[in-house]
Amino acid sequence: MKLQDSLHELVHSLTKTEKSFFRKFSAIQSAGDEHSYLRLFEILEKMSDYDDGKVEDKLKADFPSVHYAFAKNYLKRTILRSLRAQKEEDSPNIIFSEFLSNAELLYKKNLITLSEKELQKAEKIMEQYELHHRFSELAYWKRQFLYKKGYSAEVKDEFEKVNETEKQHFEKTSNHASYYFLSYLILEINISKGNIRDEKTKLKLENILNHPLFFDESMALSTPSKCFYYNTWCLYYDYISNTEELYRHLRKNIAVIENNQPFYDQNEWWYAAAVYNYIVTGISLKRFDDYEVMLEKLKSISRLNRNIAPLLKNNIFVLILNAELRHLLGTGSYDKLKNFHEEHAQFLLLQDIKRNPHVLLENYLMMAYAFLMTRDLRSALKWNNILINAKVSDMREDVFSMARILNLVIHFELGNDIFLTYSIKSTHRYLEKLNTLKKFESLLLQFMKLLMDLEKKGNHSEKLKTLQDSITDLKGDPIEKQVFAIIDISHWLNFRIEQNSKRVGSKQT
């Protein structure tokens, strides 16, 4: 990306608060200087579609002699300086860097005592926030100070201590990096496949978890590593539908974060994800005793932290809505759907699907199914179409597959027989292509065909009941039961069987 494109993007990424701070910061930094870069900021701020030629013409109309490339560069550096100044109290890395810079400046003035005090402050921040990857920067200056002390047995011992400490921090950094990569490998499967239902993918997951780092929690040498350890096991237990172990590990993961306040303060998303997953698992297990407490914890993350980034705050709210939708479906509280929809539908529709697709896709699916169960078929079709037409690739095959199944169900309820005639075949091909045509999908397609045939030829009650029982039995299959993780379509099957029984009964009388 070219500088001018990234600069335009940078300007438009600023919040109102950040823009206000930038103007105040610039007024102090450039008092009495030429303000061409401030004029450039105003031009970029007002321009929605970037045009480099127009920007340069407008700037030179006010500052004929300005060097355009220099003004752009200067503006970019000034914005970044203002962001650092505004965020320095919130970022341990920025605070650490500031103390380290102070130590360097004082060292070069030969103010060694003052320099060492700044270095001690940096070390305290590093230890408090587990910035193990930054110890080498600290060690460099520690060694500079030791050289100043001359040559003695005492100095030699201090050198060895620094070397040994650096090795320990490097080990923790390496440990964290390994967990990070292994967690990425397993999360990659989760994002693309969703709730898996095939042995081949399960084997991939088990191969990852055979790594020595997953033998025991003691292998994780830092709080971030412990979180990766528990997160990865949680993903695996979710895949194999071992909800009891998943529930237990999520509780441990939450405890690790809650017991380390500095880590919690800097990793709101990790905590939000752990609490959200705990809520979802509790709903799956029909344990609602602490639902309100945990939901309040999720809501309080954004409320208690005023400095939380707008995008992160937005993503946490998407999690909250997902949890509330799951609770609505899990408890059958469909009477709450209308108020939920009126309050939050606009928010969901305005979301950029590319920013948080994993959860948003689930939200669309649950909205569609909830409306189906309340017999608001037009709304069900609307939300299901939003999902089917979502422009994301290599993402949540399980959700998209279920959306295709749900599409058949909704159109059947709408009486669109002509559409269903060819759509059942196209859905079959679609599922085969994604390799998601498993027992559940095959049985449900048979169920749909029988329902269509019922409309034309007569009673298939026994066959429908047999298929319904076969689909319900899949809930006992550790792999197939994953298909019921987001929406439990067996509730619709029950409804259809009841409707069929009433119809047959009325004909017989």
The band of 4, judged by pLDDT with boundaries at 50, 70 and 90, is very low
Residue recorded with tokens 């011992």: 157
Is 90 exceeded by the pLDDT of residue 253?
yes
The pLDDT tens digits for 284-318 are 888 888 899 999 999 998 877 766 777 888 889 99
At residue 464, what is the residue type? Answer: L
The pLDDT tens digits for 24-65 are 767 655 544 457 778 888 888 888 788 888 888 888 888 887
Q: What is the Cα 176 distance to its own chain's centre? A: 20
pLDDT at 172: 95
| Max avg pLDDT among 75-89, 205-219, 445-459 | 205-219
DSSP E strand stretches across 35-92: none
Q: What is the Cα 187 distance to its own chain's centre? A: 11
pTM for the structure as a whole? 0.75
What is the 3-state composition of the chain as percent helix, strand, coil, each rounded to the nearest 5?
A: 80, 0, 20
Q: For residues 499, 504, 506 and 509, what is the CA-based torsion angle, rounded to 10 degrees? A: -160
Query: Rounded mean pLDDT of the chain?
Result: 84
Q: Per-domain residue ranges for the chain?
A: 3-87, 242-300
Q: How far apart are CA 246 and CA 258, in angstroms?
A: 18
The pLDDT tens digits for 344-365 are 999 988 888 777 788 889 999 9
The pLDDT tens digits for 379-413 are 999 999 999 988 877 778 888 888 999 999 899 88
Contact 392, 354 (CB under 8 A): yes
The band of 89, judged by pLDDT with boundaries at 50, 70 and 90, is low
pLDDT at 23: 74
3-class DSSP assignment, residue 216 = coil
Nearest in space to 213 (alpha carbons), one of 186, 246, 250: 186
Is 70 exceeded by the pLDDT of residue 507?
no
Distances (CA, A) of 422 to 275, 352, 419, 448: 43, 32, 6, 13
Distances (CA, A) of 220 to 90, 179, 184, 224, 400: 26, 8, 16, 8, 36
Is 80 exceeded by the pLDDT of residue 20?
no
Query: What is the rounded average pLDDT of the residues 144-160?
Result: 90
The more confidently predicted of residues 137 and 481 is 137
Burial (0-12, 13-18, 19+ Cβ within 10 Å), 361 = buried
pLDDT at 32: 41
